[in-house]
Amino acid sequence: MNELGEVMHLSKSGRIIVRLKKDGKQIKTGQLLLDASGKRIGKVIEVIGPVKAPYASVAPFTDRIKKIIGTNVFNGGVLAKRRDSRSRVRKQQKDYRHYNNLGENQQ
């Protein structure tokens, strides 16, 4: 696991603020963050601050924020967007039904 930074605090908006190590180029929006035991902490919403000392705004997956403040976070990969694939399948089904209905009406 690749260490990315340290959890600083909880913002007023309910997001976790993480101070990133180095320049933060390896972190992207949508990336999962894990704690040392491999549990999911949250998903990166945006990278903020100066380029040389960036911070990440993270949507938490847990309600126990006080326990993770001050802990190191690690790279957990990118969380796949499920909505896109579902909407594509629904659109294909809708187009298929529409196509079949056109064929029946013309005969």
**The predicted structure's pLDDT at residue 24:** 66
Q: Is residue 47 part of a domain?
A: yes
**Which position has the higher pLDDT, 87 or 27?**
27
Q: What angle do CA 102, 103, 104 make, to 5 degrees?
A: 95
Count other C-beta atoms under 10 Å from residue 81's C-beta: 10
Q: Is residue 32 part of a domain?
A: yes
**The predicted structure's pLDDT at residue 18:** 95
Residue numbers of the domain that contains 23: 3-79
pLDDT bucket at 103, cuts 50 / 70 / 90: low
Q: Is residue 24 part of a domain?
A: yes
Q: Is residue 87 part of a domain?
A: no
Count other C-beta atoms under 10 Å from residue 8's C-beta: 14
Alpha helices by DSSP H, listed for the chain, are 65-68, 82-106
CA neighbor of 65 nearest in space, from 5, 12, 16: 16
> CA dihedral in degrees (70, 74, 76, 77; nearest 10)?
120
Q: Is residue 14 part of a domain?
A: yes
- E strand map for 1-107: 3-10, 16-20, 31-34, 40-48, 55-60, 72-78
CATH code where residue 75 lies? 2.40.10.230
**The predicted structure's pLDDT at residue 88:** 66
pLDDT bucket at 26, cuts 50 / 70 / 90: confident
How far is it, in rounded angstroms, from Cα 103 to Cα 46? 48
